[in-house]
């Protein structure tokens, strides 16, 4: 099927990583090929591959298969102008973890780990195991093995650095990007430190949950002695579309989510709102972004008892079609001026009115979140679950501005609570031969 191999990073474009769909290539086959001495570093490339994947129903569009479909047999370029996993059409699954640097680790230890993480992440993105001396009976295997036989699943591994990393522990204070600082206290939040913060974060997205988990698990394993895991979250379904080719998914409240998200294929919008630009004095961070994570619990039992009319007023959209209350089709532009006998058709405290860029001086962010569940509350029997909100933006101040409004006035607040939080600078993509350690330390 795939006799065209792509050398690591060869498909990278300065504009950033792109998705490279291919016919099914299993990790087992790749491993076999490596064993046979073949130069295998990726999956087949080309329009033929795209058509083949579509013809066999393995991918509905560039945005990947709908939940429940076979995982996409595709790879996403690891290297490029921007890290993958931001503009990449949102994959179906997420594994997100944060780490603190161990008190005994040195600057050199951290730099070495980041180089090791780079090599491992690049290999896993290509559907290959973590590099190492496979088969030595006297040492633990270098790859934990659970992704053998699975497709690459459009895996992306995105790293970010929290404000704490830029204190004086590793000599990084002078390299701190200007807007990287802890988020201020925001209205209505009830943050659990066990779900918040971290010196480093790793966002692994894939169309197969085991591929995403495998990536984080192996980085955690390689980090032993240098970093300590702080918290981890699994996302079982994307709640945003980030490209117009993707169908809009529904969140756990049953509403279409992501309709008016930034279109990540629009370079002008991404340049204006998401990528850190030339104005940043820290040159190394230009082309990167900021990631804000919020674990938002939904009070699902209360929501499920609310009447449909009220649910629609909370968002300002129709539940079934996703259209704004002033329109008919999902993509109709909301008319925030429209009134009826009882006031605005899209209510004054509705989520979309308060969040819309028209009502926030043009402020926009790229939402890329996932639904999560933590099982049930054993005291009450209530479902524990909600939205693991992730958003990318060129300054965390954008999130703060928006959340100050939403946290204070959003009708949705009756049904949600922010219980975890993180803010990280996401460095730009890696050039050929570069690694995360050298990029960070210069």
Residues contributing to the site for ligand HEM (CB under 6 A): 251, 253, 255-261, 294, 296, 298, 315, 317, 334, 351-352, 355-357, 386-387, 389, 399, 402-403, 406, 416
Closest distance between ligand HEM and the C-beta of residue 88, in Å? Answer: 18
Longest Cα separation, the chain = 78
CB neighbour list of residue 422: distance below 8 Å, 6 or more residues apart: 98, 162, 196, 197, 198, 201, 291, 292, 293, 294
Question: Are 4 and 46 within 8 A, CB to CB?
Answer: yes
Closest distance between ligand HEM and the C-beta of residue 388, in Å? Answer: 9
Q: Which is nearer to ligand HEM, 76 or 323 (CB)?
A: 323
Question: Are 78 and 431 within 8 A, CB to CB?
Answer: no
Determine whether 65 is exposed, middle or buried from the number of CB atoms within 10 Å of its CB (0-12, 13-18, 19+).
buried
Q: Which is nearer to ligand HEM, 214 or 256 (CB)?
A: 256
Please state, in angstroms and rounded to a whole number, the distance separating the CA atoms of residues 10 and 432: 8
Q: Which is nearer to ligand HEM, 64 or 334 (CB)?
A: 334
Q: Which is nearer to ligand HEM, 191 or 416 (CB)?
A: 416
Phi-psi region of 46 (alpha: psi -120 to 50; beta: other; left: phi over 0): left
Closest distance between ligand HEM and the C-beta of residue 189, in Å? Answer: 10
Q: Which is nearer to ligand HEM, 50 or 387 (CB)?
A: 387
Closest distance between ligand HEM and the C-beta of residue 403, in Å? Answer: 4
Q: Which is nearer to ligand HEM, 46 or 254 (CB)?
A: 254
- The C-alpha angle with vertex 9 and arms to 4 and 13, in degrees rounded to 5, equals 100
Closest distance between ligand HEM and the C-beta of residue 23, in Å? Answer: 33
Please state, in angstroms and rounded to a whole number, the distance separating the CA atoms of residues 138 and 149: 24
Closest distance between ligand HEM and the C-beta of residue 260, in Å? Answer: 3
Please state, in angstroms and rounded to a whole number, the distance separating the CA atoms of residues 27 and 129: 8
Q: Which is nearer to ligand HEM, 230 or 273 (CB)?
A: 273
Closest distance between ligand HEM and the C-beta of residue 100, in Å? Answer: 25
**Listed residue (227, 185, 231) closest to 403, CA to CA:** 185
Q: What's the first-to-final CA gap in the chain, in angstroms?
A: 42
């Amino acid at each position: 099927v795939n006799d065209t191999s792509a050398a690591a990073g060869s498909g990278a474009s300065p504009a950033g990583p792109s998705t490279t769909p291919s016919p099914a290539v299993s990790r087992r086959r790749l491993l076999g090929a490596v064993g046979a001495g073949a130069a295998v570093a990726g999956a087949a490339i080309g329009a033929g591959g795209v058509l083949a994947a579509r013809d066999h129903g393995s991918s509905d569009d560039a945005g990947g298969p709908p939940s429940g479909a076979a995982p996409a047999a595709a790879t996403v370029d690891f290297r490029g102008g921007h890290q993958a996993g931001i503009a990449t059409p949102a994959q179906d699954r997420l594994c997100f973890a944060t780490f603190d640097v161990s008190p005994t680790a040195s600057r050199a230890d951290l730099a070495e780990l980041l180089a090791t993480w780079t090599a491992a992440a690049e290999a896993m993105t290509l559907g290959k195991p973590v590099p190492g001396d496979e088969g030595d009976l006297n040492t633990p295997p270098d790859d934990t093995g659970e992704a053998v036989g699975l497709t690459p699943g459009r895996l992306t591994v995105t790293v970010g650095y929290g404000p704490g990393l830029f204190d004086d522990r590793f000599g990084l204070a002078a390299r701190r990007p200007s807007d990287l600082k802890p988020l201020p206290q925001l209205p209505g939040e009830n943050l659990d430190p066990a779900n918040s913060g971290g010196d480093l974060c790793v966002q692994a997205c894939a169309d197969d949950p085991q591929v995403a988990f495998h990536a984080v698990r192996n980085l955690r394993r390689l980090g032993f002695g240098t970093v300590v895991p702080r918290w981890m979250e699994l996302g079982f379904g994307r709640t945003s579309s980030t490209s117009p080719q993707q169908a809009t998914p529904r969140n756990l409240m049953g509403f279409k989510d992501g309709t008016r998200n930034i279109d990540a294929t629009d370079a002008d919008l991404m340049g204006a709102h998401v990528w850190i630009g030339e104005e940043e004095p820290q040159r190394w961070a230009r082309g990167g972004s900021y990631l804000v994570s919020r674990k938002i619990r939904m009070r699902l039992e209360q929501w499920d008892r609310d009447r449909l009319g009220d649910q629609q007023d909370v968002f300002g959209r129709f539940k079934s079609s996703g259209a704004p209350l002033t329109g008919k089709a999902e993509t109709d532009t909301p008319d925030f001026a429209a009134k009826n006998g009882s006031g605005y058709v899209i209510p004054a405290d509705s989520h979309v009115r308060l969040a819309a860029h028209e009502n926030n001086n043009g402020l926009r962010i790229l939402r890329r979140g996932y639904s999560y569940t933590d099982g049930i509350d054993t005291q009450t029997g209530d479902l524990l679950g909600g939205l693991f909100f992730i958003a990318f933006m060129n300054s965390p101040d954008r999130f703060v501005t928006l959340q100050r409004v939403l946290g204070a006035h959003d009708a949705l607040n009756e049904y949600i609570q922010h219980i975890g939080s993180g803010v990280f600078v996401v460095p730009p993509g890696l050039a050929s031969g570069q690694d995360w350690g050298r990029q960070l330390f210069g």
